[in-house]
A = this chain, B = another copy of it.
Amino acid sequence: MPRAPTQAAAEPKRRPPKRWHRRRDARPAEIVAAALGAFAERGFAAARLDDIAARAGITKGTLYLYFPNKEALLKAVVETALLPNLAQAETLAARDAGAVGTLVAAIATQIGRIIATTPLGAIPKIMLAEAGNFPDLARFYLNAVIGRGLRLFGTLVRRGIAAGEFRAVDPEATARLIIAPILMTALWQNSFAAYEETKHDPADFIARSIDLVLRGLAAAPRGAQP
């Protein structure tokens, strides 16, 4: 925020305070971070571009030098903030040492950590709410995030079945079921969690849920125990 010049120029050599800097490279990332924060707190529709600009330390006009409109801003948030984490999860899933169940639990835990410590968990809520109003954005998210996430867990489930670790379930439906408690945690933390008096630990809930689901998936009632 620019300081108003409160005193007269006693020393003429005093460097004049800069009102702003040219920082073409740094802006986009800062704007995206600001937008994520604003969208997370108020939702897409209710978030104000003036507020996003202020969080990024600029003014609204400057936003439009970097993004053509509000919708593009949301898309950029998903692309630059969410997708790298998904890629990381895929890397984790590609390691094929040990039991698949352990891997699933590890990935779930990792996502739980992101939900608890970053504003990224707000993105599902935002996309859910606006899918109907922004078809292009919805399709992009469906392909780039949801489809990819389902494929990730679907592949793991297939691996578990092939290894004799899981029963012969439907991989697609099972992937959705694994994601359900994780997604629910993300939604809860970004909506009602603030209002509940007896808090409930998100990481613990995810761990319990995955554990229970894996029990339900376990291949033999008495055969091999991983």
Contact = CB atoms under 8 A, between A and B. Distances in A.
A196 B128 contact: no
Interface stretch (A22-30, A100-108, A109-117, A169-177): A169-177
Copies of this chain, count? 2
Interface residues of A, number: 51
Interface in A207-226: 208-209, 212-217, 221-222
Given A180-B184, A212-B213, A213-B213, A142 B42 contact: no
B128 A191 contact: yes
A6 interface: no
22 contacts: A42-B132, A43-B132, A43-B133, A46-B133, A127-B191, A129-B191, A131-B195, A132-B194, A142-B195, A142-B196, A169-B212, A170-B208, A173-B205, A176-B181, A176-B200, A177-B181, A177-B205, A180-B181, A183-B184, A212-B213, A215-B215, A216-B217
